[in-house]
Amino acid sequence: MPSGSPTSGVGRVIAGRYLLLNPLGSGGMGHVWLAYDQRLACEVALKEIVFRDPVAADQREARVARARAEARHAAGLRGHPHVVTVHDVLEHEGLPWIVMEYVEGAVNLRDLIEQRGPLAPAECARIGLAVLDALTAGHERGVLHRDVKPANILLAPDRSGAPYGRVLLTDYGISVQPDAGETRYTLGSVLVGTAGYLAPERITGGAPTPSTDLFSLGCTLYYGVEGRGPFERESHLAELTAVVMEEPRAASRAGALAPVLRGLLEKDPARRMSAAQAEAALSRIVVPEADAYARTRTDLGSQPHWGGAPPPEPVPVPDAVGFGPPPVPERPGSGPRTGPRVRHAVLAGLLGLALAGAGVWYALSQRSATAGTERPYGDAVGLGAPLQDGDCVLADWPGAAAFRGTPRLSLDPSCRERAPDGQVMAFVAAASAAEARREGPAQCEARTAEVREKLADVRGFAVVPTEAGFEAAGRRTACLVLGAHGPVYGPLGEHREVGSAFADTATMQRRDCLDVRSPRDARLVSCAGAYDEQVLGFARMGADVTLSEARTESDTVCARQVPPRDFGFDPSVYTAGSWTSAGSWKSGSHFVVCTVRKQNGGTMEGDEP
């Protein structure tokens, strides 16, 4: 019976030792399972080789040999902090299974960006440094990866519990040692890799080299900061053609990462940025010039991360201008161009590793074209008075797409009547307008990281005062949290009042406790007393799922994606619940709020998990 059939499912014991618990994912070579090692009493990941179509005996042998090679190559990098550890390779019923480290809580970069939006350039640079370190270690052993892409980069909690602090490169399934004289397990006429991430010299028949991995890394970092690949097209053939014949799409959100992307995506491998050059350039983004002495082989897994709690005092990092996913380009005619020397000086400025807070978008209000204006944030933003803490705002973007350009802001004093797009959540003081431009966005990211992490579909946004409006703005940058795909429909975070009804799921946040009065009426209550449900997280539903279908299916989806048992709730007592709202479907984000409640319908108490 072919591999991948139902007999290979949950409950099967492999090699008399590994009990399959549940599938973790699938790739080009097979399925990955969470398994229980009955001998050592621990969880591992098992990679099952899948032959999806009937294959000839020689092809079958080649694929089996390729799996053994994967294990051998990856095992040679055992102990590297940024490579998934391979423990063993075994055969079961004539096919190989690879026993790997189980990385608990991991999410791959592709899925994370699909869920949360593009990364800030400094966070993308941090991930790039880790992956580059893993690739370089392989290259030093003569091992090429040949399939560097977002789906093969895992982000997992680090030792401090930071959710995306640990960066791991996985899937050496098509790696090769070009100088080892080993058998090549792929046909010479077959391209090995992923369309859109292959180096042009590979597509045109050239041999793989370390430089081809670097091109793929450049494509991956571009995806990380832009939210799509540099050669993304409608078909694989069109992507391959674009890699060879066309320049990558201009990166509008890359900020200081843009020169690195250009260097890595150079089509001529002889002119492509080297690993050493890439490491130096990425380090200048992640670590300030002033702290260059601290760059020596740091454990990146312990550094501040995307989505983590901000440090007590945010440390600055290079070039606030253009940072964040995505930084907002200056509108034509909005002010004087920054010359190369000025840009270089800004890039040498300080922006901190705290910038790794998740998915923040920056709006740096451009310098006013009219000298002496009293508008705090310039004519484009349009406010005649400075923003105040808790102000709810509506954002009118200059083009069809949100988060492109500088929005014109107006206030919704009620925070409900006009379905606000977001709210002012913090301020960052500065000694000068230049300091506000340089450091305000990064510090806003850190100040709003905690509340953003608790909400399902938001992004940060820094409104920086202009030179002329600096004093009128109270010498402060306003830190906003805005709905990523639509309005937030009400107050956020600590600005919500206990006892208030939720107008939309957009304002529900992790660990909120709910008083449920009807299927359409939930109130925010203190978790110290009795409550009916508690919010555990969020789940996305497909673009083709209607709101009515979601209301029918959401409990099941939440039970699968955000199971209460993962939060310490006894499954014999508690069950998964969910909340949906029309707002998420109008915006197209299609998220549902996942909760926990008692099976018997009773109330929960403050001392529960």
Task: Give the residue numbers marked as catalytic.
Answer: 147
- What does the alpha-carbon distance between residue 585 and residue 537 come to, in Å, rounded to a whole number? 18
Cβ contacts of 375 within 8 Å, gap of 6 or more? 368, 381, 382, 383, 384, 466, 469, 472
Residue 47 in marked binding region: yes
Q: What are the Cα distances from residue 562, in Å, to 363, 371, 405, 557?
A: 33, 54, 36, 8
Q: Are strands 95-100 and 591-598 parallel, antiparallel or unpaired?
A: unpaired
Cβ proximity of 545 and 580 under 8 Å: no
What is the identity of the amino acid at 1? Answer: M
- Of 35, 106, 33, 94, residue with least CA distance to 67: 94
- What does the alpha-carbon distance between residue 393 and residue 410 come to, in Å, rounded to a whole number? 6
- Of 259, 287, 284, residue with least CA distance to 273: 259
CA dihedral 525, 528, 529, 534 (to 10 degrees): 60
Q: Which residue has the tokens 């019923």?
A: 93
The CA-to-CA distance between both ends of the chain, in Å, stands at: 45
- What does the alpha-carbon distance between residue 301 and residue 82 come to, in Å, rounded to a whole number? 8
293-323 burial, b at 16+ Cβ within 10 Å, e below that, comes to eeeeeeebbebbbbbbbbeeebbbbbbbbbb
Name residue 49's beta-bridge partners.
30
Three-state secondary-structure class, residue 521: strand
In the chain, % helix, strand, coil (3-state, to 5) comes to: 30, 20, 50
H helix intervals, 337-427: 340-347
Name residue 18's beta-bridge partners.
14, 37
DSSP structure string for 407-436: -EEEE-TTSSTT--SEEEEEEEE-SSHHHH
Q: Which residue has the tokens 């590793």?
A: 353
At what angle are helices 210-226 and 109-116 packed, to 10 degrees?
20
Cβ proximity of 557 and 549 under 8 Å: no
- What does the alpha-carbon distance between residue 408 and residue 71 come to, in Å, rounded to a whole number? 55
- Of 280, 283, 345, 306, residue with least CA distance to 225: 306
Q: Are strands 30-37 and 18-26 parallel, antiparallel or unpaired?
A: antiparallel
Rg of the Cα trace of the chain?
A: 25
- What does the alpha-carbon distance between residue 144 and residue 138 come to, in Å, rounded to a whole number? 6
**What is the enclosing helix (H) or strand (E) of 30?**
strand 30-37
Q: Which residue has the tokens 């907002």?
A: 328
Q: Which residues are annotated as a binding site?
A: 47
- Feature table: binding site for ATP: 47
